[in-house]
Amino acid sequence: MRDERRSPWVPCGYGRRNVLRIALGGVATAASAALLAACGTRSSPTATVAIATAPAANSTATIASAVVHPAVGGKLPSPAPNVPDAYLTPPPPFVSVAAVPGRGGKVSITKASQRPPAVPHDQNQWWQELEKRLGVTVDFTLVPLPQYTEKATALIASGDIPDLLLISPLAAPDQYKAVQQGAFTDLTSALAGDALAAYPNLARYPAAVWKNAAIKGKLYGVPRLSLAIGPALLYRQDWTEKLGIPAPKNADDILNLFTAMTKRDPDGNGKPDTWALGGQGADWSMSFMRGMFRVPNGWRKNSDGTLTNQIETEEFKQSLDFARKLYAAGVYHPDAATMNRTQATNALIAGNIGGYADQLIQLNGDIRVRFEAKRLNPAANLGALAPPGSDGGMGVTYNGAGFGSIAAIPAKDGKDPERVKELLRLLDYFSAPFGSVEYNFLTFGIEGVHHTVQPDGTRILNDRGRAEIGELGTVVVPPPVFYYPSDPGDAQYLQDAATRIGALGIDNPALTAFSPTNAAKSVELNQLGTDRLTAIITGRDPLTALDQYVRDWKTRGGDQIRKEFEQDLKG
């Protein structure tokens, strides 16, 4: 799971979020989904970068060119659904929680963590101050990310469930079973309609996310939000400008662009040391190619209600054939099959590759690709390329759920309606929007102790702040905003790019369905897809080997997953 406040993301959800990206085999990885959906941290802006969260508005926008929106008080309001607000300067602090939410008792919270443990409570001034502001004593348990799903499942099995537990039921069979057996409180009546107004920060959440977070129409937790907009190609826009190549409009243009990035010395050093494409986790940047050929988002729902997996479609076969052509043209970096995300982004920053497919948010995410490339080479200009249609029309991108995990309340707490309201008020506090007094405290702590404030309002977290706050402030996280104090123009660039990419987004019709076979076997099936498709792309196997891969996928669980999804969608 990814840090949804620290980076403009991944957010942790398809995030991330597309940490939960569509796998090569067309089936989401359950283990990865469950882990990635359960952690994250609030943004910690520094003099060089700051990412935050806040509500987004809805509108429409064009696709072909950047859309300029006038700033109002330093804010660029969202121009389209799922597109975050952007901020050139932080807003004046405002209060988003009217009263102390707690009643003086104790609250236990368990979530995943990717960072070293925070300073212990007795020596942690921020933690102690948090308890004063919440009106409760907080017992945090942060579990290292690789062990989180196992730990959460064990807690559920023991019956000793903390007051707030981050879970991912659709990705973990035992958690889903526990939800269906009544281990967690049904919060539907408290989080729908007029009742939601009692929690004003939660009421800012997009309606689509509440819908996606429901399990068989019921809500069992508050979602940890993330960017729902799908992947793009993060690429060296400065290379295309130097090569004099216009924006690609079809598959031939993409092949010509990638060939030029590889063969025509785009960095101008006179050496044959550039390649057009990298990848991460042996994905071969296929999400971009799939978008060009309009491959379904995971599944296609047919008119009779049945489902067709993306790997069974003619569009998928065409995208795979195109990737073969790219490999044969020599445009992939020699290490494309073994790169991880960090290696791919570092190669992009250094100018070894011209692009790779990833979440838009990674342009200024954990590694801050756009910023770091400029720092290394002031002439560098990294952008996000939406997939053109292979035939000259529009391509597609892939919408995510808009969240990763949910903060669930156990049934034992649900027996006391006032306790449920208290816990929801606490989650409302943790969902404080960007710029609010509560957000500033959760993210930066106490002024003069954990951070300093610059004349323009930018807050700079210090070492003590990082050590004491860690990941304690992100039980849930609100919708994202784009905010980069070191380069405010990047906020508008990301918003405009999100508008263009989001306008191409298509949904996964099985997004909210549960399949125990998928949750149990997706790791195996994803590895099967990685191995088979890599062999086809690199030419070790012919394109016709796709047929055998599909047959093997079906017999090793794919057909059963389809059946379970179809049954679940019927209700």
Q: Going residue by residue through the chain (571 aa), what tens digit of pLDDT does each one get?
A: 333 333 222 223 323 223 222 233 333 333 333 333 333 344 433 322 232 333 333 332 222 333 344 556 689 999 998 999 999 999 999 999 999 999 999 999 999 998 899 999 999 999 999 999 999 999 999 999 999 999 999 999 999 999 999 999 988 989 999 999 999 999 999 998 899 999 999 999 999 999 999 999 999 999 999 999 988 999 999 999 999 999 999 999 999 999 999 999 999 999 999 999 999 999 999 999 999 999 999 999 999 999 999 999 999 999 999 999 999 999 999 999 999 998 999 999 999 999 999 988 888 866 688 989 999 999 999 999 999 999 999 999 999 999 999 999 999 999 999 999 999 999 999 999 999 999 999 999 999 999 999 998 899 999 999 999 999 999 999 889 999 888 888 999 999 999 999 999 999 999 999 999 999 999 999 999 999 999 999 999 999 999 999 999 999 999 999 999 999 999 7
DSSP one-letter string for 212-247: HH-BTTB--EEEEE-----EEEEEEHHHHHHHTPPP
pTM: 0.85
Q: Are 355 and 470 in contact (CB under 8 A)?
A: no
The pair of three-digit structure tokens given for residue 428, joined into one six-digit string:
């409302």
Tokens of 90: 């932080």
Query: How far from 385 is each of 56, 215, 478, CA to CA, in Å?
Result: 23, 35, 27
Cα separation, 206 vs 223, in Å, equals 11
Query: What span, in angstroms and rounded, lies between the C-alpha atoms of 386 and 394?
Result: 9
pLDDT at 70: 56
Q: How far apart are CA 131 and CA 110, in angstroms?
A: 16
DSSP-derived secondary structure for 310-328: GGGSHHHHHHHHHHHHHHH
Closest CA to 237 of 67, 331, 327, 363: 363
In whole angstroms, give the CA distance from residue 473 to residue 11. Answer: 16
Confidence at residue 367, expressed as pLDDT on a 0 to 100 scale: 67
- DSSP 8-state class, residue 199: S
